[in-house]
Amino acid sequence: MDDRWLTESRPWHGLSALRAGLGHVTCLTLPEPSLLPQALDWCRGRGLRPWPLGGGTNLVGSDRPDAGLAALRLAPPADVPVPEASGRLTVSVGMALGRLVARTAQRGWGGLAALSGIPGTLGGALAMNAGALGREMADAVEAMAGLEVRDGSPWRWRRGDGGWGYRRSPVPDGVMLTEATLQLWPVEAAAEASAIAAERARRVRVTPRGRSCGSVFRNPPGESAGRLLEAAGCKGLTAGVFAVSEEHANWVVNRSGAPGRASDCLWLLSEMRRRVRDLCGVELQPEWRLADSEMLLGVD
């Protein structure tokens, strides 16, 4: 126990939007990013591998009783800082993306309304270059900072360093982001609020019912993963409490909300991938984040 941050043993399913994973993990929630170096030392002293974790919106946990990991999370800041006169804004990546977009719009700054319905934290959105309706996080990022969790060394990125792509960011595996500087644009607050509300309503209409981790696979170049999965007969596949949605073949849902085995999610992912590969020779790439490294090796 350390009174500088909240330390808990948590079931993985309680950290996953899909409620996947019956094992447990040590979870550290840091009230401010400056505590990350001390938290890394704490983990190393206990033989735990630090593992950055955002909102868990694309997380499939582990069924292991103890995965030997320490999940590190940043508590969201109390409020969104006020952007500079130029529209530049530096903020902790523990902030929920939707709240960030809505709060800055109230102050007359925006340009990210298309991303307002994406769940999870700013850090998670940056790590995967989240996007919607032709807009991506990369469009607004000026700088990012974090630490390499293996040795605590600093990591920085600035515009011009490159590394962005479709569902790909310059943030390396093993780096925990702490803050980002965004470049926002002047907007009319009421109009931006309407755009945000419209995008959130659209998300509700098109999102399959049930708990989920979002899209299972990235779209291959020039193709739709959902179309390929539907053609391969994946809709309705089930494993435990999880099923491939009948509404969208690239979504796995947990309609009951009950905790389920991560291994069931892995089976669905592998079977969906195999069927598409057998049908058309396309190797789909997962968007899910898998807590168990052995599970990850099993689908690569």
Contact 98, 199 (CB under 8 A): no
Alpha carbons 168 and 138: distance in angstroms, whole number: 9
Burial of 77 (C-beta count, 10 Å sphere; 0-12/13-18/19+): middle
Look up the CATH architecture of domain 88-204.
2-Layer Sandwich (3.30)
One digit per residue, the tens of pLDDT, for the chain of length 300 reads 578 999 999 999 999 999 999 999 999 999 999 999 999 999 999 999 999 998 999 999 999 988 789 999 999 999 999 999 999 999 999 999 999 999 999 999 999 999 999 999 999 999 999 998 889 999 999 999 999 999 999 999 999 999 999 999 999 989 999 999 999 999 999 999 999 999 999 999 989 999 999 999 999 999 999 999 999 999 999 999 999 999 999 999 998 999 999 999 999 999 999 999 999 999 999 999 999 864 444 444
- Which entry of 218, 271, 287, 293 is annotated as an active-site residue? 287
- Which entry of 44, 167, 203, 255 is annotated as an active-site residue? 167
Alpha carbons 237 and 282: distance in angstroms, whole number: 20
Q: Where are the domains of the chain?
A: 6-74, 88-204, 208-299
For domain 208-299, the CATH class is: alpha beta
Q: What is the pLDDT of residues 218-277, one digit of tens each?
A: 999 999 999 999 999 999 999 999 999 999 999 999 989 999 999 999 999 999 999 999
66-74 vs 24-30, strand pairing mode: parallel
- Which entry of 62, 92, 116, 215 is annotated as an active-site residue? 215
**CA distances to 28, 36, 46 from 1, in Å:** 10, 16, 11
**CA distances to 6, 26, 95, 194, 245 from 174, in Å:** 22, 18, 20, 38, 32
Predicted TM-score (pTM) of this structure: 0.89
Contact 262, 295 (CB under 8 A): yes
Phi, psi of 198 (to 5 degrees): -65, -40
The per-residue pLDDT for 134 is: 86
Alpha carbons 268 and 287: distance in angstroms, whole number: 14
Q: Is 150 a residue of the active site?
A: no
Alpha carbons 239 and 248: distance in angstroms, whole number: 17
Burial of 121 (C-beta count, 10 Å sphere; 0-12/13-18/19+): buried
Q: Is 167 a residue of the active site?
A: yes
87's tokens: 């529209």
Q: Is 215 a residue of the active site?
A: yes
Look up the CATH architecture of domain 6-74.
2-Layer Sandwich (3.30)
Average pLDDT, the chain: 93
